[in-house]
A and B are shown apart, each in its own frame.
Chain A
């Protein structure tokens, strides 16, 4: 599995470029400050937060600056919130939601694998009945990770498929139901309402379900991440977020805004296309790896 360090190497390069001068101690030059600002912006940090950090940098000297900025960013992300598969309720239903192409289907498969690896019995539900081959994609993944799947017909009612899957989970003694839904734009009201319907169908099948509703966010999206997450949160109260594609993106800074505005924990990071490429989100490593000195001296 790709490591945090490796996956985020690009991010670290982008941000760190200007910091050598700044972190060296002494009063930062105007150019160094400007470079810091550009680099923070380039990492998709929210503009206001970036400006705030820059002002701090200008006001203070170089001494302890790096630690200060790191501390500040770690604080922004809140404490690590690992999913405890062992202690999570049984049965448990996890509803996965998110924008088009963010990585829901792939993440559903990765989560099934993790759940199974932690002694649970997962069942996948392919409730993306909208996109061409949406359910086939999850079915192929299910085969790959060795997990059962309940799938709907293209064009059928997603809520009904979710309901059936929940019944199937109860009947088969599966303790972890992972529901993959169709991607949708947060601005499309009817589609957002459909999510509420899916969630209620799950609850109708079993009280308290879904226990978890996780939003899957693509790390390469910019400031739109917040608007996206907010609308999803209104449609179905979110209990966590997963950040995908951190392996290829130079950024990831949008999580700061999501975390600040919604207060939901960041659970996992997607670090590749393979079934194992999912790591618990670790705020400290995330921030540290942004500022860490590179072995190659970059």
Chain B
């Protein structure tokens, strides 16, 4: 994942090797290429612009220009800046309540239902008990999908009954979870576009009914420039506590990952890296930045300069 960004950036750093001593012009040239690489990786254009500007400012300092290993200094600056973009430190779910509530929401087909199953798997394998709440009553077979996943994981699943509204289902799931002394309730909601007021209203109703500690946006990592807008609108409409990025296994770019935190302030909690229940990982900003920059490789490359 993110290979194409990674390889473009490594090319840029490799070219810096040819410069010998750095000056304002070759830093600028290199950063123009960095900006193009970021744009081609779907990093939001504003983030790409700010990012390259920050790095430039950091790189044009005397300590970098006069360093004996200026290329390495630049990589280091880019790495620091990128870690910041990803959110700095790792953030976890808020699981203090009992039952703790986690509401999942997002665009159509982003991976909410699959992620609900994965989270159940994740928490249940550390000994917690989980209840899944099927709060998508619109899409054909959405409830069957979640209940199949629940059965697979051995989690309880609360499905809508005849005449139930979505908040009814959510409230019943919460009640049953309390009675069973379950640790966590995961609410799977229907796919929606942020601009659809009815559906945003429905999310608000669910939230009022069950007051989940976490309201998490599930975002497909392959989403283009709109990722930021989507996250921002959901954040404005319902107040997000975090994000889960899905489908990072197949996405060679994933600029969304680099854009959403800085534009919304919401932490990335986890990433989905496949279709199976175990394909979910906690997100660590620093590790992700190192991975993209292929730190080991780049540093050794630049050292040869």
Contact = CB atoms under 8 A, between A and B. Distances in A.
Given A100-B111, A250-B226, A132 B144 contact: yes
B39 interface: yes
B255 A222 contact: yes
Contact of A140 (B140, B149, B224): B140
A41 B45 contact: yes
Interface in A244-298: 245, 247-251, 253-254, 273
Contacts of B196: 248
A218 B226 CA distance: 12
Contacts of B230: 220
Interface in B39-76: 39-42, 45-46
A101 B252 contact: no
A212 B62 CA distance: 62
A222 B224 contact: yes
A220 B224 contact: yes
A276 to B, nearest CB: 16
A141 B222 CA distance: 27
B107 interface: yes
Interface string A188-208: 100000000000000000000
A224 B225 contact: no
Nearest to B151: A132
B195 interface: yes
Contacts of B111: 100-101
A156 interface: no
A137 B250 contact: no
Contact of B222 (A10, A99, A247, A249): A99
A253 B40 CA distance: 13
A103 interface: yes
B189 to A, nearest CB: 15
A140 B139 CA distance: 10
Nearest to B43: A222
Given A101-B220, A132-B149, A186-B250, A223 B107 contact: no
Interface residues of B, number: 48
A46 B139 CA distance: 33
A116 B275 CA distance: 34
B109 A185 contact: no
Task: Classify the interface of chain A: helix, strand, loop or mixed.
Answer: loop
Contacts, number: 133
A32 interface: no
Nearest to A136: B141
A141 to B, nearest CB: 6
Contacts of B45: 38, 41-42
B5 to A, nearest CB: 10
A90 to B, nearest CB: 29
Contacts of B144: 132-133, 136-137
Nearest to B252: A227
Among A44, A131, A221, A227, find the residue whose CB has the most chain B CB atoms closer than 10 A.
A221
Interface string B198-229: 00000000000000000000001011111001
B273 to A, nearest CB: 10
A46 B145 CA distance: 36
Contacts of A103: 108-109
B225 A273 contact: no
A133 B149 CA distance: 9
Interface string B90-126: 0000000000000000011111011001000000000
Contact of A222 (B138, B140, B145, B223): B223
B159 to A, nearest CB: 12
A187 B249 contact: yes
B261 interface: no
Interface string B237-277: 00000000001011111011000000000000000000100
A220 B247 CA distance: 14
Interface of B: 4, 36, 39-42, 45-46, 107-111, 113-114, 117, 138-142, 144-146, 148-149, 152, 193-196, 220, 222-226, 229-230, 247, 249-253, 255-256, 275
Given A100-B247, A186-B250, A220-B107, 15 more contacts: A43-B225, A44-B42, A101-B111, A102-B109, A132-B145, A133-B144, A133-B145, A188-B249, A220-B230, A223-B41, A224-B251, A248-B108, A248-B196, A251-B226, A273-B138
> Which 9 A-B pairs rank lowest in CB-CB distance, beginning with the nearest?
A222-B224, A185-B250, A101-B109, A248-B193, A222-B42, A140-B140, A133-B145, A137-B141, A132-B148
Interface of A: 10, 38, 41-44, 46-47, 99-103, 130-134, 136-137, 139-141, 144, 154, 185-188, 218, 220-224, 227-228, 245, 247-251, 253-254, 273
20 contacts: A38-B46, A41-B225, A103-B108, A133-B145, A134-B145, A136-B144, A137-B144, A139-B141, A144-B140, A154-B148, A188-B249, A218-B109, A218-B220, A220-B226, A221-B224, A222-B42, A224-B252, A224-B253, A227-B4, A249-B226
